[in-house]
Amino acid sequence: MNPSTEPLVSLDIASTLDRGNSDVVLIVDDVPDNLSVLHDALDESGYTVLIATSGEAALKRALQALPDVVLLDAMMPGMDGFEVARRLKAQSETAHIPIIFMTGLTETEHLVAALECGAVDYVTKPIKPKEVLARMGVHLAGARERRQTRNALDAFGYATITVRAADGALLWQTPLARELLQRYCGTGAPNTSFAPPEVVAWLQQCLARLEQPEEPPRLSLERGAARLGFRLHQQIGDVDAQGDWLIVMREVSDTAVIEAIGLSFKLTPKEAEVLYWVVKGKTNKDIGDILGSSPMTVKKHLERVFVKLGVETRTAAAGMAMGRIRLLQPQFEI
């Protein structure tokens, strides 16, 4: 093995990495001897090893391969390890990857700086492979468990994101979460580094009420007859005053509720939709904006609804519809 050759990792190769049987480790060091010792030790222990000999190469490989852990040399020519760590943590795709610094700097301020850049741990030089393996094992176990949890939630329709409360940084998002955030908030694209403002504001509200006995409030964003619910799940990583939080999202559609309203009261699909939004407390103008029609058209639909329900007011129609919905769809939420 010749670490100095620094083989490129393409996106195609990254997608074929056998993550089911081997964790992927990216070693970043500009000294070939250090790379060689660590590569051999990790390879013998069953890890898939990638290497980079500069900060720029490290950022490229991390983004391409999304390793399970990064072993990062602190002092390198050009871009040093501290800057590499800051950039990795600033990108949503790589922010979740545990970083372990390898440093010959033992002064307290340097070690503190490493942790402040987002590292989870550090080892001092000269490198002892057994120590590195032990430290990696601890952090990989936690990362693996979180990844399995996120994948399982995604499979059952529960999307997940991890948000840093201090600044709203979006540290992690599953593919389903990215799609939902894009649809409901116009965010979630690959280069998005921060959670939507409404999500950050809600998270801060939840944290302000953590000491209270009742469950933290939930957030709900509506898009037509569908809504995206957010639930604070748990704090992850190092526990501090705010920390990083795993948030679970799930999309719920009330299409079935609208269909039930129509069948129950013998309404047309459009009349059922109008009544649904009356139950939700919307004005004729609001309903017109949602359905793409004028307030006058909404008023005419509503007049026919009143006749079919045998009522004269919006309040009476909403009350009758709500009573029927609770019988047919107990899980429905206003």
- Residues shown for the chain: 334
- Cα angle, residue 45 at apex, residues 91 and 50 outer, rounded to 5°: 35
CATH number at residue 320: 1.10.10.10
Residues of the chain where predicted confidence (pLDDT) is lower than 50: 1-5, 7-13, 188-191
Residues 114 and 27 in one domain: yes
Q: Looking at the domain assignment, is residue 83 inside a domain?
A: yes
Backbone angles phi, psi at 83, to 5 degrees: -70, -40
Residues 205 and 278 in one domain: no
Give the DSSP per-residue string, 216-241.
PP-EEEEETTEEEEEEEEEEESS--S
Structure confidence at residue 187 (pLDDT): 60
- What is the extent of the structural domain holding 199? 157-253
- Cα angle, residue 92 at apex, residues 238 and 111 outer, rounded to 5°: 40
Q: Looking at the domain assignment, is residue 246 inside a domain?
A: yes
Give the Å distances, CA to CA, from 33 to 36, 75, 146: 5, 15, 34
Of 148, 180, 204, the last residue of a domain is 148
Residues 261 and 242 in one domain: no
Residues 142 and 7 in one domain: yes
Q: Looking at the domain assignment, is residue 38 inside a domain?
A: yes
Q: Looking at the domain assignment, is residue 333 inside a domain?
A: no
The CB-based long-range contact list for 122-126 (8 Å cut-off, 24+ gap) reads 125/34
| 196 within 8 A of 202, measured Cβ to Cβ | no
CATH number at residue 144: 3.40.50.2300
Q: Looking at the domain assignment, is residue 309 inside a domain?
A: yes
Residues 144 and 169 in one domain: no
Which residues make Cβ contacts (< 8 Å) with residue 114, sequence separation at least 6? 74, 81, 82, 85, 101, 103, 122
Q: Looking at the domain assignment, is residue 301 inside a domain?
A: yes
Of 106, 123, 148, the last residue of a domain is 148
Distance between the two ends of the chain, CA-based, in angstroms? Answer: 63
Strand 219-223 and strand 226-236: the pairing is antiparallel
Residues 103 and 228 in one domain: no
Residues 67 and 176 in one domain: no
Beta strands in the chain (DSSP E): 24-28, 48-52, 69-73, 99-103, 121-124, 158-164, 169-173, 219-223, 226-236, 244-253
pTM: 0.51
- Cα angle, residue 138 at apex, residues 135 and 144 outer, rounded to 5°: 130
Of 253, 279, 295, the last residue of a domain is 253
Residues 315 and 283 in one domain: yes
Residues 129 and 213 in one domain: no
CATH number at residue 163: 3.30.450.20
Distance of CA 71 to the CA centre of its chain: 24
Q: Looking at the domain assignment, is residue 334 inside a domain?
A: no
Structure confidence at residue 169 (pLDDT): 85
Residues 64 and 181 in one domain: no
Residues 48 and 140 in one domain: yes
Residues 25 and 120 in one domain: yes
Backbone angles phi, psi at 332, to 5 degrees: -65, 135
Q: Looking at the domain assignment, is residue 321 inside a domain?
A: yes
State the total domains in the chain: 3
